[in-house]
Structure 1
Amino acid sequence: MSTAPASPSSSETPAETPAGTPAGTPDGTPSAPHGAAARRGPFRPGERVQLTDEKGRMNTITLTPGGAFHTHKGFLLHDALIGATEGTILENTSGQLYQALRPLLSDFVLSMPRGAAVVYPKDAGQIVTMADIYPGARVVEAGVGSGALSISLLRAVGDSGSLHSFERREEFADIARGNVETIFGGPHPAWQITLGDFQEQVLEQEEPGSVDRVVLDMLAPWECLDAVATVLSAGGVWISYVATVTQLSRTAEAIRADGRFTEPEAWESMVRGWHLEGLAVRPDHRMVAHTGFLITTRRLADGAVGFTPKRRPSKTGFSEEDLNAWTPQAVGERDVSDKRLRRVARDAASTIQRGALPPEEAQARRDAIADGGSVE
């Protein structure tokens, strides 16, 4: 089952806008990329606006004529924002100051409605860059979730590109569609959603070797090897987002064993903000640490067989030299003399004496330690 906004697919495009040709105005001049108009000019009814108070607290509102933003410290009329310039600072009824700005993509992603965990901006940025998502590229993705990554991919491919998203669950597709249309101000002309299993649907929807980039966010990307190898063009990039080490390892080994891809590469990114206040400049106590791993590989030409880069073989055994390298003397430890050992024994005996043992038992323990014995 396929559900999509009115947009070009792999086999048909609107007559007035052929695939790969930017849409234009009636006089033939190129128009701005889709959604750009909503990011410029004064605030308009229906727009989302981010209000930040003097303590740095942020609230996002949707402008409605006659509406008001209420807090325990007064209210601010929406009409005061409609028609105002972005970056305006306004005062509410109790004198509280607010700066009004359009939310950035990172702000929107972390606050938008979600039915599944979103791909964080730090990972979406890595995917767009490291997978080389370019304007006009033909991209397929699987695992739409709440649409966070789809938004970044659509911005990268532009109106002349193509993003074909596959999602198993209809409710996730609906949430993603709502979020995408909110930030772009309507259906994006380069986007198509297909409901169903990626492995089956992508082979029906896309021609072999016709896709430039494949982006997978799913539990078992190794199960999609054949489907990816079929639709991905020679030199095309496949990038997967996985959450655990076991998923990462299994995906990498499956790619190596398949032979139709280059040696996989994997990494994770962590972002740590900094506190900036006068001379109190230090790392924040909190950071966005592990969210997931990214693993990428490229499609080889048909008939080419991948190889693993030659590396110096690691040692599997230990020589006498290896063993001698880890003796106490080799690592800088000093020999402990018998005299020192006897002194430590006396110290241990005196510790017993200071305890709450009966004198006879304490003396017996001291004698045992002094003679080199043990105390049960």
Structure 2
Amino acid sequence: MSEPTGATRRRGPFQVGDQVQLTDPKGRHYTFTLQAGNQFHTHKGAFPHDELIGAPEGTVVRTTGNVPYLALRPLLPDYVLSMPRGAAVIYPKDAGQILAMADIFAGARVVEAGVGSGALSTYLLRAVGDTGLLASYERRQDFADIAKGNVERYFGGPHPAWKLTVGDLQDNLVEADVDRVILDMLAPWECLDVASKALVPGGLICCYVATTTQMSKTVEALRDHGTFTEPQAWETMVRTWHLEGLAVRPDHRMIGHTGFLLTSRRLADGVEPPLRRRRPAKGAYGEEYDNGAPEQSLQERAAARAAAKATGTDAPGAPDLG
């Protein structure tokens, strides 16, 4: 049985072409690619790459200045935070949430829009495996080129499950019967129609947005669309701890807000969304909602919005999405 793509680069002795992460006595990291005959240089001296080629992970090497460095392969979170960037990368804490909460499984068919520097693409490819599909769409050619280089550098070459397309998702999406759609873009609400058509019943859409305005607009668009379940939204924060004998306390710095995640499931065709029983707080949707507007199902909200757009009037219970 053949190894999954990239697996041979994650275990065993160091080989030429492997990524190596050095850690100095102060905990600082340095990442480079092993090349026969090359040397690694620091202000504390140098050592030859050949000293690591064939050595096991966890080896300690010393520079000509007698400074020890611990050599390990970088974990994927280390790799994505140190790789070349075009766009900002999705932080490991958010990528982990996407893999878990969007239930990315081996063999899944996944569509991703907004590739950026390829960080999330790498996580998704490891999750879907060689038998799955990741169809990634990126508007900018320069970002796509950077992402392609980062992904192939990590896996040691092209990944058989990856299809990268340069262009808008709305104009270029050809995949059907997909299990998951991941949207990392400024206006994910613009892609709900194509996402809904591509997803299988029960499939999941996950949106990554940076601001509360984007989050609110995306949530209301999902509700009004009529083919999705009630959205869920959250953010995660990571706080490391200082550990020194009995001095155990939270670190002074933490990874706080990076973005919001939204998920919703695709309903079966022709199914009316269940009635939303929770009545919003006073003022949540403006005066027209507060003045006696009844509870509405998501489908009724969508119909009210469509009627409002057609007549140019406001519709009770269906806030303007711009």
- What TM-score do the two structures reach when normalised by structure 1? 0.74
| Residue deviations 1:314-373 (CA, integer Å, cap 9, x gap) | 578xxxxxxxxxxxxxxxxxxxxxxxxxxxxxxxxxxxxxxxxxxxxxxxxxxxxxxxxx
Q: Which residue of 1 aligns with 2:5?
A: 34
| Residue deviations 1:101-153 (CA, integer Å, cap 9, x gap) | 00000101101000001100000000011011000000000000000000000
Q: Given the superposition, is the C-alpha separation of residues 313 and 149 from structure 1 closer, same or farther in structure 2, using an over 3 Å criterion?
A: closer
Aligned partner of 1:242 among 197, 209, 219: 209
Q: CA deviation at 1:312?
A: 6.2
Q: CA deviation at 1:280?
A: 1.4
Q: Which residue of 1 aligns with 2:175?
A: 206
Aligned partner of 1:69 among 11, 25, 40: 40
Q: Counterpart of 1:241 in structure 2: which amino acid?
A: Y
Correspondences of 1:134-283 after superposition (within 5 Å):
134-202=105-173, 205-207=174-176, 210-283=177-250
Q: CA deviation at 1:94?
A: 2.1
The separation in 2 between residues aligned to 1:56 and 1:281, in whole angstroms, is: 18
Runs of 4+ with >6 A deviation: none
Answer 1 or 2: which has greater strand percent.
2
The separation in 2 between residues aligned to 1:119 and 1:54, in whole angstroms, is: 29
Q: Which residue of 2 aligns with 1:311?
A: 278
| Residue deviations 1:56-113 (CA, integer Å, cap 9, x gap) | 1111121111111112222111110111111111222222111100000010110100
Q: Which residue of 1 aligns with 2:62?
A: 91
The separation in 1 between residues aligned to 2:22 and 2:175, in whole angstroms, is: 44
The separation in 2 between residues aligned to 1:299 and 1:31, in whole angstroms, is: 35
Q: Counterpart of 2:29 in structure 1: which amino acid?
A: M
Q: CA deviation at 1:313?
A: 6.9
The separation in 2 between residues aligned to 1:194 and 1:252, in whole angstroms, is: 27
The separation in 2 between residues aligned to 1:312 and 1:225, in whole angstroms, is: 25
The separation in 1 between residues aligned to 2:224 and 2:119, in whole angstroms, is: 32
Say which one has the larger Rg: 1
Q: Which residue of 2 aligns with 1:110?
A: 81
What is the DSSP-based 3-state SS (H/G/I as helix, E as strand, rest coil) of the residue aligned with 2:117? coil
| Residue deviations 1:217-276 (CA, integer Å, cap 9, x gap) | 000011111111111100000000000000000000011111110000000000011111
Q: Counterpart of 2:238 in structure 1: which amino acid?
A: V
Gaps of 5+ in 1: 1-29, 317-376
Q: Counterpart of 1:90 in structure 2: which amino acid?
A: V
Q: Which residue of 1 aligns with 2:267?
A: 300
**Aligned residues, how many?**
283
The separation in 2 between residues aligned to 1:121 and 1:82, in whole angstroms, is: 29
The separation in 2 between residues aligned to 1:182 and 1:175, in whole angstroms, is: 11
Tell me if structure 2 keeps the 8 A contact 1:265–1:296: yes
Tell me if structure 2 keeps the 8 A contact 1:259–1:307: no
Aligned partner of 2:254 among 267, 280, 287: 287
The separation in 2 between residues aligned to 1:216 and 1:314, in whole angstroms, is: 29
The separation in 1 between residues aligned to 2:22 and 2:94, in whole angstroms, is: 26
Gaps of 5+ in 2: 284-322
The separation in 2 between residues aligned to 1:106 and 1:315, in whole angstroms, is: 43
Q: Given the superposition, is the C-alpha separation of residues 133 and 65 from structure 1 closer, same or farther in structure 2, using an over 3 Å criterion?
A: same
Q: Counterpart of 1:194 in structure 2: which amino acid?
A: T
Tell me if structure 2 keeps the 8 A contact 1:270–1:290: yes
The separation in 2 between residues aligned to 1:121 and 1:256, in whole angstroms, is: 29
What is the DSSP-based 3-state SS (H/G/I as helix, E as strand, rest coil) of the residue aligned with 1:275? strand
Tell me if structure 2 keeps the 8 A contact 1:263–1:308: no
Correspondences of 1:127-138 after superposition (within 5 Å):
127-138=98-109
Q: CA RMSD in A?
A: 1.3
| Residue deviations 1:34-71 (CA, integer Å, cap 9, x gap) | 10001111111121101111111111121111111112
Q: Which residue of 1 aligns with 2:317?
A: none
| Residue deviations 1:180-221 (CA, integer Å, cap 9, x gap) | 00110000000001111101111xx223xx111000000001
